[in-house]
């Protein structure tokens, strides 16, 4: 049996989620209505840097940290702000945003272009 290529899964997810441009995300964060959630691996953060103020939630723990009934729940992810997920280039974040939507999270989006797009757009990065 052939597997569904990840590129197809990402395209399907992107058709069902909200993708926001970096400028809009930066404005929402400044207004206090959004929280940027970095789902990259810790090694990626150490290698490429971090977006100031972003909450780090490794992809492997995201669902557990979002679920208020989980013993691993992180209150910052349940404060009602828009959760703007990002990874390196917006593939994992698309899949993660779709998964959170499937869980019933209504206030979730992804950052267009991921960390790479943010950085290349001249937005702040801590190295």
> Which residues are tagged catalytic?
87
Query: Cα–Cα distance between 45 and 2 in angstroms, integer?
Result: 34
- List all residues 6 or more positions away from 27 whose beta carbon is below 8 Å from its beta carbon: none
Give the CA angle between residues 98, 122, 28 to the nearest 5°.
Answer: 50
Asked whether 84 and 20 are in contact (CB, 8 A), the reply is yes
């Amino acid at each position: 049996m052939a597997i569904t290529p990840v590129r197809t899964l990402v395209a399907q997810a992107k058709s069902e989620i909200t993708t926001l441009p970096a400028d809009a995300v930066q404005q929402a964060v400044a207004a206090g209505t959004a929280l940027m959630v970095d789902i990259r691996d810790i090694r990626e953060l150490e290698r490429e840097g971090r977006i100031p103020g972003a909450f780090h939630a490794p992809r492997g723990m995201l669902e557990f940290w979002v679920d208020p009934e989980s013993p691993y729940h992180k209150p910052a992810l349940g404060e009602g702000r828009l959760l703007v997920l990002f990874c390196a280039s917006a593939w994992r974040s698309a899949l993660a945003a779709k998964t959170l939507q499937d869980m019933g999270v209504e206030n979730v989006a992804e950052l267009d272009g991921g960390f790479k797009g943010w950085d290349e757009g001249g937005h702040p990065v801590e190295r």
